[in-house]
Amino acid sequence: MRFRTGLPTAAVTLGAVVALVAAPALASTPVGAETPVTVDSAYVKANGRTPSATDAITACGANRRQQNEPSAAVDPRKPSIVVAGSNDYCTVELAGGTWAGFYRSTTGGQAWTDSLLPGYPTDTSPEGLASPLQQRGIANAGDPVQAWDLQGRLFYMGNAFNRTAPQNGSVWVATYDQDAAHYVRTVIVGSAGPALNGRFNDKTAIEVDRGVHSTHQGNVYAAWSLFQGLHGNNSIQFSRSTDHGRTFSQPAKISTGSKDVQFADIAVTSDGTVYIAYRQFDSSRGHQVNQVAYVVSHDGGATFSKPATAAFFEPFDAADSAGDPASAAEAHDQAYENADGPESEAGEASVGDSRDCGSGPFACQSGFVFFRHDSQPRITADPKADDQRVYLVYDATIPGTEQPSQTTYNTADPSGATLRVGQGGIYYTSLSGSTWSTPSLLAPTPRGHQLFPDINADGGVLHAVWHDSRNDPAYNVQYPAGNDGAVRDAQGFATATKGLDTYAASSPTSSVSWAVTRLSADSQMPNREMFGDRRVPFHGDYNYVSSVGAFAYNVWTDTRQVAPGDDPRYLGGEGFDVLQCRVAEGDGTYGADTCPNDGGLDQDIYGRATTG
């Protein structure tokens, strides 16, 4: 295997990383420097295969394309081994679609070997040809999530689809063994389509029963959202494997009685009790309100309870109104060109026809440029604990911070006809017995929005990670992160700022007291217009943290290495443009970008280890 060179030197040795797992501390402390998980170096194929000259993986690393929506998982029996995944766009150049990146470190996240899930178009390896994704002619795979069992097997889950008919939308789970050094298989867990009619699988979640007291230890649990179209009854689907990922049960709906649901996440306690939490959206059609709902299984996922409520909240969902509704509607279908999938999701609580804003047909009336984000929950349990406590985080609008919006941009529930904004914060609550604690802010701060949280529990220690804009020099509750609405150009666009950081926190489970630390040494400008033909930003939908005892590995999407530029097609908003090369046509229009590999699309996954 080839390992990267020129990476930041960690402050501890590999032996020290392993030692940290056995000795929980009372503070959240970074281990070494933040490190790019995806960097500009050659990828390797699964199981040591050599790629052919026409294999799309030969472009990976060299073409500096986007990666977002990271996952991470620390090996419970060898914590020096960490894996990560992402929506990886390096295959777009030669294979025409995005794929699931697979990254492995044997040094606690200090150095990485990058690869891809087998089965992408042009993959002629035995593993690729045997993949049901390739056999179905699927060109895109993403939404990666990962979980280990206790025998060195890793289970890697995501969705797959085509952007044109036949779309063949599928949810898949791949198995790796030998501590993720060896790829075994990929199986299809659920299918849906065509998304052209609004039916689409998305928003995946996976967990394995590692409970020290469980009779179901080794069961693999998968959950995801099934979108049914604008007027359909969206649902949370569930499937399980009792034979180490060889086969999975027929998908079953577990969100009975709820409409407009998504963002499922799974926790398994030490006695094998399975909890699945998800967001329920406000819906007049379903006569329901925004809440974190959850279901419980006491028989290894064979049956589940009816949904119950973990927490009610006011969402922190970005929305705006298109500057030119006709142009925006025409461009809607390509807004996420080479992004994470068709735009077929549940509605948000905020008001407007745009969940994100950019330039040209994606410009919004507010003049802000921002990536999409919606409130979502993450749930976890300690598989080694004697108690059966469950822990939950979610992002929401902080009560009392709401105010009327001064533009069409809005994030909080409206008050009658009045659009409102509010400060976004990360909330924490736990379930002991049948009672949830009163939700409280995990890391209170007088300034800054917080979003994309994740949490993990193991060995008596909690770890959390999230994005945070407290260091944005222009922070204002009226502005999206990375926008200065007080300084605008001649076309009314806000000024771009380096407005986003990544933070982490840890706490003992015995007495929750969070120690907060900043992970990102450099703030990023998150709204680079790298999608929709360089006209709209996309930052993925989540961050991830995985831990074994006191040692945790945190991953996030980062744009610090994206080369800025100027889009000659549009005036205004230049601070959000990325490097691109276009030739003017005789009719006043411009041709396609001819230098996509020169850094304008260099969105990356970054990671950093912590001990707490």
Condensed to tens digits (0 to 9), the pLDDT of residues 589-611 reads 999 999 999 999 999 999 999 99
Q: What is the pLDDT of residues 114-150, one digit of tens each?
A: 999 999 999 999 999 999 999 999 999 999 999 999 9
Tens digit of pLDDT for each residue in 215-226?
Answer: 999 999 999 999
Confidence of residue 325 (pLDDT cuts 50, 70, 90): low
- pLDDT at site 257: 87
Residue 173 contacts residue 160 (beta carbons within 8 Å): no
pLDDT exceeds 90 at position 460? yes
Give CA–CA dist 18/318, Å, rounded: 41
Instruction: Please give the pLDDT value at position 167.
Output: 78
**Mean pLDDT lowest among 1-5, 19-23, 307-311:** 1-5
Question: What are the E-state strand segments in 382-460?
Answer: 390-397, 403-404, 412-415, 418-421, 424-432, 435-436, 440-441, 450-458
* Confidence (pLDDT) at 9: 31
pLDDT at residue 345 greater than cutoff 50:
no
What is the model's pLDDT at position 480?
98
Lowest average pLDDT, out of 161-165, 273-277, 445-449, goes to 161-165
CB of 215 closer than 8 Å to CB of 209: no
Letter for the amino acid at 46?
A
The stretches of 337-477 forming alpha helices (DSSP H) are none
The identity of residue 505, as a single letter, is A
Backbone phi, psi, residue 297, to 5°: -125, 130
Q: Supply the pLDDT for residue 6.
A: 32
pLDDT for res 284: 66
Cα gap 90→603, rounded to integer Å: 11
Residue 195: the pLDDT is 57
Per-residue pLDDT for 83 more than 50?
yes
Q: Which two tokens stand for residue 307?
A: 């949904």
Q: Is the pLDDT of residue 340 over 60?
A: no
Contact partners, residue 238, CB within 8 Å, separation at least 6: 221, 222, 223, 251, 252, 253, 254, 276, 301, 304
3-class secondary structure, 540: coil
* CB atoms inside a 10 Å sphere around CB 185: 16
**Token digits of residue 246:** 């060889």
Q: Which residue has the higher pLDDT, 3 or 100?
A: 100
Q: Which residue has the higher pLDDT, 20 or 423?
A: 423
pLDDT at 13 over 50: no
Say yes or no to pLDDT of 514 above 90: yes
Q: Calculate the alpha carbon distances from 553 to 9, 43, 70, 72, 607 in Å.
A: 16, 22, 12, 7, 7
Average pLDDT, the chain: 91
> Using 50, 70 and 90 to split pLDDT, how confident is the model at 166?
confident
Average pLDDT over residues 320-338: 62
pLDDT in tens, 565-576: 999 999 999 999
pLDDT digits (tens, 9 = 90+) for 188-211: 998 876 555 667 888 999 999 999
pLDDT category, 14, cuts 50, 70, 90?
very low
| Angle, alpha carbons 386-389-391 (nearest 5°) | 135
Q: Can you tell me the mean pLDDT for 86-94?
A: 97
Please tell me the distance from the alpha carbon of residue 442 to that of residue 3, in angstroms, as a whole number. Answer: 37
For residue range 18-52, list pLDDT tens digits in order: 333 333 444 778 888 899 999 889 999 999 999 99
Mean local confidence (pLDDT), 63-69: 97
What does the pLDDT read at residue 311? 98
What band does 17 get if pLDDT is binned at 50, 70 and 90? very low
Predicted local confidence at residue 78, as pLDDT: 98
Burial letters 73-103, b for 16+ CB under 10 A, else e = bbbbeebbbbbbbbbbbbbbbbbebbbbbbb
- CA 326 centroid distance within chain: 31
Q: What is the mean pLDDT of residues 242-251?
A: 98
Instruction: Write down the pLDDT at residue 407.
Output: 98
Q: Is 529 a residue whose pLDDT tops 90?
A: yes
* Residue pair 507/612 in contact by the 8 Å Cβ criterion: yes
For residue 140, the model assigns a pLDDT of: 96
Lowest mean pLDDT among 248-257, 276-285, 386-395, 530-539: 276-285
- Position 168 pLDDT exceeds 90: no
